[in-house]
Amino acid sequence: MAKRTILIHPDPRLKTVAEPVTEITDQLRTLADDMLETMYDAPGIGLAAPQVGVMKRLLVMDCVKEEGEDPRPMVLMNPEVTWTSDEMATYEEGCLSIPDQYADVERPAEVEVGWLGLDGAQHSERFDGLWATCVQHEIDHLDGKLFIDYLKPLKRQMITRKMQKLKREKARA
């Protein structure tokens, strides 16, 4: 397993629609392992392949937060939202590609998602709470969408400028 570098916004790869997974290869298994290691190390609760520069429809997540509860690392390929609740929920979201910036985003409170697992089988599950927010945030990444795209243009612009400054400082260091 190896940690991968997480891209920081703005980056054209974070605005690009990722390609479906067509074959489960060892390379893809290694990518999933590396992404889980990168996510836990960050720390984060989710990570999508485009965030590490791989334009494939693959995401990892683990929203178990309770101390003493077993972790639940999940790998979802070609995920599709098949049902959304009418009820909406607002959660203060963050993003590993937009460090230290948080904002309220409203999304469906519950979603049903279908995906291809690393076992080659098709899976389906209903998510609620933080899991529902996280899986929608990660699927957005696969479609080239960031949580700041839900904010008012001025707020989005302010965050983007902060990230440009951060990237300039990192490049100089």
- Site residues (CB under 6 A) for ligand K1U? 43-48, 91, 93-97, 133-134, 137-138, 141
* 133 touches, from Zn ion, ligand K1U, none (C-beta below 5 to 8 Å by class): ligand K1U
Give the residue among 142, 154, 168 at the shortest CA–CA distance from 14: 142
What x/- string results for residues 95 through 134 when contact with Zn ion is judged by CB under 5 A? x---------------------------------------
Q: Which is nearer to ligand K1U, 97 or 111 (CB)?
A: 97
CB of 115 within 8 A of CB of 77? yes
Cis ω for the linkage preceding 43 (within 30 of 0): yes
In whole angstroms, give the CA distance from residue 146 to residue 88. Answer: 19
Binding residues for Fe cation: 95, 137, 141
Q: 80, 112, 125, 138: which one is catalytic?
A: 138
Rounded to a whole number of angstroms, the minimum distance from the CB of residue 51 to ligand K1U is 6
Question: What stretches of 14-142 show up as alpha helix (H) in DSSP?
Answer: 26-41, 129-142
CB of 21 within 8 A of CB of 122? no
Rounded to a whole number of angstroms, the minimum distance from the CB of residue 147 to ligand K1U is 7
What residues are labeled active site?
138
